[in-house]
Chains A and B, each alone.
Chain A
Amino acid sequence: STESLVQATIPFEMGKIVGLQSQSRSQAETSTQVFLKSSIRNFRGADATSPLSYKAVMLEYSRPKKEKVKRRSKGSRMNAAQKRRMKLFTIRPEHQRYELFLPLHHLWRQYITDVCSGLKPTSSPQFLQQKLLKADLHGAVLSVVRSRCPSYVGTTGILVQEFKHVFKIITKENKVKVIPKRNSVFSLEMGGFTSFIYGSRFEQRASERSAKKFKVRGTIDL
């Protein structure tokens, strides 16, 4: 009976007072797994007992190796090599699922209507373009309209990461596509407006764009 008590869903009124909500079953399971993984050292999931039975024990005597005393670096920041080694920003394949990014897209839509002060159909395209240049594009639905490489054309998906030369887009088929910005044109849909992004003019990091001034140039071609 205690088990059923533990697993029972919290009634709505009580949840309101405490500030908690019951999760759905799958959500609760994933969060429990992640919690276990992060809190238990060397957590291997279900096969936690198997390495014990196969363990080979060395009976020789070996001198304990002296560990070299490394000089501690002064700063707490990582250098580029360490970052690359730790794979700070690569999304693991088990997280490359389209439905995980839908809430991000909804959040982005709210953000973009807020930035464009309501996104009314009467607002001028120039104003929207000015805002869009400084806005953040993570979470937007992008599609490739034109490209020098024809196999990219028609790829549609949610923009997950923006790098200096590359957009990472997750498609509905749960695949992360890496599309170079140079020589391709992207279209961006927001609340009835469609704007085109010329990738060759857009080759900066996502963070640099907010500080940079864009110049108007006449000719743009692929």
Chain B
Amino acid sequence: MAGQIKDKDAYQRLNYLYQAAHCVLSQNPDNVELARFYCSTQRTIARRLVLRQDPSVKRTVCKKCCSLLIPGVSATTRQRRKKGKIRFTVMRCLSCGHTKKLLNNPDYCLWADRPEAQLEQPPKLPETTNILSTQSFTCERAQPVDQCVLCPGKPRTVEGEAISQRGVDVS
């Protein structure tokens, strides 16, 4: 069962570290250092084993200081305009001041969501069932993080889904 997804242990570990960072921040939103430590560990593991992180995970980690970006708690999110029409979402890390600019484009489709990305390996039926079971696991473990009300605007379950999405990418 464990051999079906390659690097399953590593993915579980990344998932755990990401959730641990959320858990620490939900306990005390001021404890940025520990969450940052977990996120940087997560990033170095992914870099060493050459694993691809899902964009939704990547966009919530600061590129400069590795801290977890949660709007209203450790980051600010603003809508900016450049030369009239083009609109950006600007996320600013509150601890190091580094900004992330994301273009607002409703038609943009992530590579992971495109059909070509899924076609790299032919899907097998038993594997998909396995992924479903891991999905349920990730959602269960995301629950303690669910309970916190760090950013009310955004439903907390998004992360759990994102991580399981990453699991789908691998297969």
Q: Name the one of B19, B37, B49 contacting A107, with C-beta atoms under 8 angstroms.
A: B19
Expressed in whole angstroms, the Cα–Cα distance for A108 and B38 within the complex equals 13
Chain A residues lying within 8 Å of B152, measured Cβ to Cβ, are 18-20
Asked, given contacts A19-B155, A110-B140, A138-B38, whether A76 binds B64 with beta carbons under 8 Å apart, the answer is: yes
Q: Name the one of A30, A38, A91, A114 contacting B33, with C-beta atoms under 8 angstroms.
A: A91
Expressed in whole angstroms, the Cα–Cα distance for A75 and B149 within the complex equals 35
Chain A residues lying within 8 Å of B49, measured Cβ to Cβ, are 210-211
**How many whole Å from B107's CB to the nearest CB in chain A?**
27
Q: CB-defined interface of A10-23 with B at 8 Å, one 1/0 digit per residue?
A: 00000000111111
Count residues of chain B with CB under 8 A from any CB of chain A. Answer: 48
How many contacting A-B pairs (Cβ < 8 A)? 128
Expressed in whole angstroms, the Cα–Cα distance for A87 and B34 within the complex equals 11
B64, A111: Cβ atoms under 8 Å? no
Asked, given contacts A30-B29, A161-B34, A206-B41, whether A136 binds B23 with beta carbons under 8 Å apart, the answer is: no
A38, B94: Cβ atoms under 8 Å? yes
B141, A110: Cβ atoms under 8 Å? yes
Interface residues of B in 102-145 (CB under 8 A from A): 137, 140-141, 144
Expressed in whole angstroms, the Cα–Cα distance for A171 and B86 within the complex equals 53
B149, A106: Cβ atoms under 8 Å? no
Chain B residues lying within 8 Å of A134, measured Cβ to Cβ, are 9-10, 13
Residue in A closest to B45 when the chains form the complex, CB atoms: A207
B37, A103: Cβ atoms under 8 Å? no
Please tell me if A115 contacts chain B, counting CB pairs below 8 Å: yes
Chain A residues lying within 8 Å of B73, measured Cβ to Cβ, are 34-35, 38
Residue in B closest to A18 when the chains form the complex, CB atoms: B152
Please tell me if B65 contacts chain A, counting CB pairs below 8 Å: yes
6 additional A-B pairs beyond A92-B31, A104-B23, A134-B9, beta carbons within 8 Å, are A34-B28, A38-B73, A88-B36, A95-B30, A107-B144, A210-B45
Please tell me if A54 contacts chain B, counting CB pairs below 8 Å: no
Chain B residues lying within 8 Å of A207, measured Cβ to Cβ, are 41, 44-45, 48
Chain A residues lying within 8 Å of B48, measured Cβ to Cβ, are 207-208, 210-211
Can you pick out 12 interface pairs between chain A and chain B where the beta carbons lie within 8 Å of each other? A78-B64, A91-B33, A103-B23, A103-B27, A104-B20, A107-B19, A107-B20, A107-B141, A108-B16, A134-B9, A136-B16, A207-B48
Chain B residues lying within 8 Å of A161, measured Cβ to Cβ, are 34, 37
Please tell me if A4 contacts chain B, counting CB pairs below 8 Å: no
Please tell me if B166 contacts chain A, counting CB pairs below 8 Å: no
Q: CB-defined interface of A94-106 with B at 8 Å, one 1/0 digit per residue?
A: 0100001101101
Please tell me if A135 contacts chain B, counting CB pairs below 8 Å: yes
Asked, given contacts A38-B74, A95-B28, whether A111 binds B41 with beta carbons under 8 Å apart, the answer is: no
Chain B residues lying within 8 Å of A117, measured Cβ to Cβ, are 1-2
**How many whole Å from A28's CB to the nearest CB in chain B?**
9
Expressed in whole angstroms, the Cα–Cα distance for A117 and B155 within the complex equals 29
Residue in A closest to B62 when the chains form the complex, CB atoms: A76
Please tell me if B63 contacts chain A, counting CB pairs below 8 Å: yes
Q: Name the one of B33, B66, B150 contacting A87, with C-beta atoms under 8 angstroms.
A: B33
Please tell me if B91 contacts chain A, counting CB pairs below 8 Å: no
A76, B98: Cβ atoms under 8 Å? yes
Please tell me if B12 contacts chain A, counting CB pairs below 8 Å: yes
Please tell me if B68 contacts chain A, counting CB pairs below 8 Å: no
B29, A31: Cβ atoms under 8 Å? yes
**How many whole Å from A174's CB to the nearest CB in chain B?**
14
A115, B9: Cβ atoms under 8 Å? yes
Expressed in whole angstroms, the Cα–Cα distance for A37 and B147 within the complex equals 23
Chain B residues lying within 8 Å of A92, measured Cβ to Cβ, are 31, 33
